């Protein structure tokens, strides 16, 4: 029990010294290695999740690409001043039908809408962007479709082009589905980071373990090799987290972490030559 209580403190005390990382290569059991691995991934996912939570808009094309392109190229005016007050839309009426695509703003028409929460459909149209009095309907031929209630607080946008219209629709959609989207995106990124780091750190640990077949190496088990890797990943992961909070994207974070691990492993070898304790003494 006492050893478990000391474990986090000992880990952080060792990650700042190449010699300590090597000498304490037997300190972590597999459970502690797993906990450290989770912590290292959390360092990367935390700033990304926070950044996404602060986002106020979402590009419609990322989830409804066909509708997005149809709106961008299909709507060419006139300029419309769209206002939402107490969940009710106020805007000049507009309607465009182009084959299987419908763009409608405040038109006094009833459209037949069917489907579940994430797969709404407007009858007779594959792609539809329909701004009704009290809700927005978006459907895409890829199967996604949504019904979006307007916010109760005042909102509005001066729409001059298809880009403006698509952006406004994306903002309204994101306001309603942001709560569902954040855990989904965070979970996907976490799974990707876990897979990427498992391969990276597993490969580094394997290379370190292979040194046991030399005549000088003090690394005798794969667990010792994995422990050194966990130590070596500590500072780069914390540095990557700081960079993430400063606004760096996921590619930069992974680069900082992976390059940092390689550099620190090189420093460990430079300081210890991976020698056994008897040889070092």
pLDDT digits (tens, 9 = 90+) for 69-96: 988 888 877 788 888 888 888 888 888 8
Judged on CB neighbours under 10 Å (0-12, 13-18, 19+), 112 is: exposed
Distance of alpha carbon 267 from alpha carbon 233, whole angstroms: 13
Distance of alpha carbon 280 from alpha carbon 194, whole angstroms: 36
- β-pairing, 88-90 vs 80-85, is antiparallel
Cβ-contact 258, 11 below 8 angstroms: no
Q: Write phi, then psi, for 161 (nearest 5 degrees).
A: -150, 175
Tell me the DSSP string of 257-269.
Answer: HHHHHHHHHHHHH
Higher pLDDT, 51 or 240: 240
Residues in Cβ contact with 20 at an 8 Å cutoff, skipping those fewer than 6 apart? 13, 14
Distance of alpha carbon 265 from alpha carbon 263, whole angstroms: 5
Segment 189-201 mean pLDDT: 91
Give me 71's structure tokens: 């709106």
Q: What percent of the chain has pLDDT over 90?
A: 33
pTM recorded for the entire structure: 0.69
- Mean pLDDT, the chain, as a whole number? 86
> Could you tell me the CA-to-CA distances from 274 to 2, 44, 113, 200, 232 in Å, in that order?
30, 29, 68, 20, 14
Distance of alpha carbon 152 from alpha carbon 57, whole angstroms: 17
Distance of alpha carbon 16 from alpha carbon 28, whole angstroms: 16
Distance of alpha carbon 269 from alpha carbon 22, whole angstroms: 9
Maximum average pLDDT range among 13-17, 50-54, 276-280: 13-17
Provide the 3-class DSSP secondary structure of residue 98: strand
Q: Write phi, then psi, for 18 (nearest 5 degrees).
A: -55, -40
The pLDDT score that the predictor gives to residue 200 is 94
The pLDDT score that the predictor gives to residue 2 is 40
pLDDT per residue as tens digits for the range 165-194: 888 888 888 888 888 777 877 788 888 899
Q: How far is CA 110 from the centre of its chain?
A: 39
| 1, pLDDT greater than 50 | no
| 3, pLDDT greater than 50 | no
Q: Write phi, then psi, for 85 (nearest 5 degrees).
A: -125, 120
The pLDDT score that the predictor gives to residue 5 is 44
pLDDT per residue as tens digits for the range 80-136: 888 888 888 888 888 888 888 888 887 677 788 888 888 888 888 899 999 988 889
Long-range contacts formed by 32-39: CB under 8 A, 24+ apart: 32/7, 33/223, 33/226, 33/227, 33/230, 36/11, 36/230, 36/234, 37/197, 37/198, 37/201, 37/230, 39/237
């Amino acid at each position: 029990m006492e050893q478990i209580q000391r474990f986090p403190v000992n880990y952080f005390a060792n990650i700042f010294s190449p010699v300590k990382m090597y000498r304490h290569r037997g300190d972590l059991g597999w459970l502690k290695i797993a906990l450290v691995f989770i912590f290292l991934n959390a360092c990367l996912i935390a700033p990304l999740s926070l950044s996404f939570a602060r986002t106020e808009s979402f590009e419609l094309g990322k989830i409804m690409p066909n509708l997005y392109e149809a709106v961008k190229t299909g709507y060419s005016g006139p300029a419309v001043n769209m206002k939402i007050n107490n969940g009710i839309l106020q805007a000049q009426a507009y309607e465009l039908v182009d084959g299987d695509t419908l763009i409608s703003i405040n038109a006094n028409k009833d459209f037949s809408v069917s489907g579940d929460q994430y797969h709404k459909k407007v009858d007779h149209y594959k792609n539809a962007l329909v701004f009704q009095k009290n809700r927005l309907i978006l459907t895409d031929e890829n199967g996604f479709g949504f019904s979006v209630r307007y916010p109760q607080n005042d909102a509005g946008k001066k729409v001059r082009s298809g880009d403006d219209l698509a952006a406004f629709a994306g903002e309204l959609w994101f306001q309603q589905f942001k709560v569902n989207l954040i855990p989904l995106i965070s979970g996907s990124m976490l799974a990707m980071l876990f897979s990427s780091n498992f391969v990276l750190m597993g490969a580094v640990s394997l290379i370190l373990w292979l040194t046991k077949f030399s005549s000088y190496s003090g690394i005798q088990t794969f667990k010792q090799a994995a422990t050194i890797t966990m130590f070596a990943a500590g500072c780069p992961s914390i540095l990557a987290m700081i960079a993430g909070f400063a606004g760096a994207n996921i590619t930069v974070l992974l680069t900082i972490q992976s390059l940092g691990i390689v550099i620190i492993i090189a420093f460990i070898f430079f300081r210890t030559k991976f020698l056994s304790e008897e040889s070092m003494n």
